[in-house]
Structure 1
Amino acid sequence: MKFLHPAIKEGKKFLNPVPTNIETDTSWWAVLWKYITNKAETTPKCKLGPFTTDVSKYQQPPASGLRITWVGHSSILIEVDGLRLLTDPVWSTRASFSQSFGPKRFFAAPLPLQALPPLDAIIISHDHYDHLDKHVIPFFANSNVPFYCSIGVGPYLKEWGIQPERIREMNWMDSHQITATCKLTALPARHFSGRSLTNRFETLWSSFIIKTADYNIYHGADSGWYDGFYEIGEAYGPFDLTMLEIGAYNQSWADIHMGPDNAAKAHQALKGKLMMPIHWGTFNLALHPWYEPVERIQKLAAEQHIQLFLPKPGEPTEVTGAAYNSHWWE
């Protein structure tokens, strides 16, 4: 396999599966000018929500064996075959190093941290602010829930109160049995890392497969398109559910974010049966209208016969294998 191998480092920095530019503009001034002159509705004109979660639903297991609660962006509570897994938990108002400025949530997290049901694992794909929230991690310091994360994310978790024995750092191709019937596998993604301009690429970024007795789920986290999706589909597919990013895309960073068109392509390459668009509708992280990703993916899905799963934020929603669209943003 050309792409399915452990991550490679060059000095301090991890390398992408294929050569990758994280910004194709020639200068910060060019980027800044785009933002200054942009006229698109990147933040909703009308306030979204508030959305709430009926936590009483967690008292009964999902009839289908799989239920999803989308907290927003890439934060997802996955209830599968008796387990509860939480991905990239971000609850803060801003995805930033400061809560005074930076990308602000369009709606408050609909499920309070205190109302979360007991968890079996937390999965962290990489260290960017919209995936790793330093204000959330300490909430779990006094629990016993294990963390599964990409290489280099562990020191952040330790600094914020998580005991070392609860942290399992993973390289690409590593697998862990969360339980006897649930295996988590870290796989390559085409992205980057870093919580400042000086430490980019020094921690790893990953996608993940969650495989149980009854379900095979692909969590794509952040990635640009590359042919490795075909290899993943061949080696690990088909997938009952793919979770793929459709938001925060721009020609300037086409290598590291897919957008709707390449997400649809990735879903097909992965041999996905049902696709859940993620990484959209929560933060202003790009120049496109905030609703554009979901409108585009619906058009592509109709043309390419892709079944979409679009739950309302905070609503525990059964995954039955059939398409589902809550139209919550309309």
Structure 2
Amino acid sequence: MKFLHPAIKEGKKFLNPVPTNIETDTSIWAVLWKYMTNKAETTPKKRLGPFATDVSKFQQAPASGLRITWVGHSSLLIEIDGLRLLTDPVWSARASFSQSIGPKRFFPAPLSLQNLPPLDAIIISHDHYDHLDKHVIPFFANSNVPFYCSVGVGQYLQEWGIQQERIKEMTWMDSFQITPGCKLTALPARHFSGRKLTNRFETLWSSFAIKTANHNIYYGADSGWYDGFFEIGDAYGPFDLTMLEIGAYNTSWADIHMGPDHATNAHLALKGKLMMPIHWGTFNLALHPWYEPIERILALAKEKQVQLFLPKPGEPTEVTGAAYNSHWWV
């Protein structure tokens, strides 16, 4: 297949599945001017929440075998057929190199790290600040939970206290059995990496398929649209649930973020049954109003007959196959 192969490197840098621009504006001053003159409500005027998690629910396994607790953005506690997986855990107030500046959370994480139930694995898609939180990783230093991450991300995990033997780095098409009954496969995505301007593309970015005997789900992390979604759907689908980014889009970043329009296209290409929008409603990362992604996805879902799964932040919510909308942002 054209897109389903291990990631390719050119020198020190990984390549995207298709030619990709990460920013079409040629001038940093042009970008800054856009942000300085933007009038949209990029941060909620009214307080969201408060949101909290009833941790007693974790004492009872989900009847359906699949339950999701959305901590916000791309941080998901996935309970799947007896396992608990945590994706891209970000708990800090800011998704930034500094907790004094940078994109700030709209609401505190509804579930504390201390109240997390025992985990079977943590999945890290790539090294951007809104997906890899250096203030969270040390919390797991004294645990036994394994980390599954894209190639190159392990260096940060080790630096922040995770033993090397607990880290499983993955290139695209790599698979690991988290347990004999749960297979994790790293798959291509169209994005980039880097925690500073000088090391972009030097670590890998991935999406993931998670398959058990009873469920098959797809965690998209960050990606722009490309035809590889069709190949993933053909080879690994259909998916009971796709978790796809709908926020932080802009015409200047069309190659690396999908937005609602392409996210629904990706869901259909993946042969998804139910779609959970992620990467929205948590941080101010773009020029569009903070609520625009959800309003747009609701309209598109109706138009394209896409069934949405929209749980309230922090609420452990079973995935039964039926559409669900908590309307938490209203």
CA distance in 2, matches of 1:304, 1:150: 33
CA distance in 1, matches of 2:27, 2:229: 31
Deviation at 1:179, TM superposition (A): 0.2
* Alignment-derived partner of residue 140 in structure 2: 140
* Alignment-derived partner of residue 309 in structure 1: 309
Deviation at 1:176, TM superposition (A): 0.1
* Alignment-derived partner of residue 24 in structure 2: 24
Gaps spanning 5+ residues in structure 1: where?
A: none
CA distance in 2, matches of 1:5, 1:49: 43
Deviation at 1:262, TM superposition (A): 0.1
CA distance in 2, matches of 1:248, 1:275: 18
* Alignment-derived partner of residue 174 in structure 2: 174
* Alignment-derived partner of residue 58 in structure 1: 58
* Amino acid in structure 1 at the alignment position of 2:35: Y
* Alignment-derived partner of residue 129 in structure 1: 129
CA distance in 2, matches of 1:125, 1:93: 20
* Amino acid in structure 2 at the alignment position of 1:138: P
* Alignment-derived partner of residue 69 in structure 1: 69
Gaps spanning 5+ residues in structure 2: where?
A: none
* Alignment-derived partner of residue 243 in structure 2: 243
* Alignment-derived partner of residue 162 in structure 1: 162
CA distance in 2, matches of 1:265, 1:285: 22
* Alignment-derived partner of residue 83 in structure 2: 83
* Alignment-derived partner of residue 202 in structure 2: 202
Matched residues, number: 330
CA distance in 1, matches of 2:181, 2:152: 27
The residue matched to 1:202 in structure 2 has which SS?
A: coil
Deviation at 1:275, TM superposition (A): 0.1
Q: TM-score, structure 2 length as denominator?
A: 1.00
Identity of aligned residues (%): 87
* Alignment-derived partner of residue 234 in structure 2: 234
Deviation at 1:50, TM superposition (A): 1.3
CA distance in 2, matches of 1:236, 1:168: 21
Structure 1 residues 136-162: Cα deviation after superposition (integer angstroms, max 9, x where no partner): 000000000000000000010000000
Structure 1 residues 155-186: Cα deviation after superposition (integer angstroms, max 9, x where no partner): 10000000000000000000000000000000
Matched, 1:288 2:292: no
* Alignment-derived partner of residue 260 in structure 1: 260
CA RMSD, aligned part only?
A: 0.3
Q: TM-score, structure 1 length as denominator?
A: 1.00
CA distance in 2, matches of 1:267, 1:310: 15
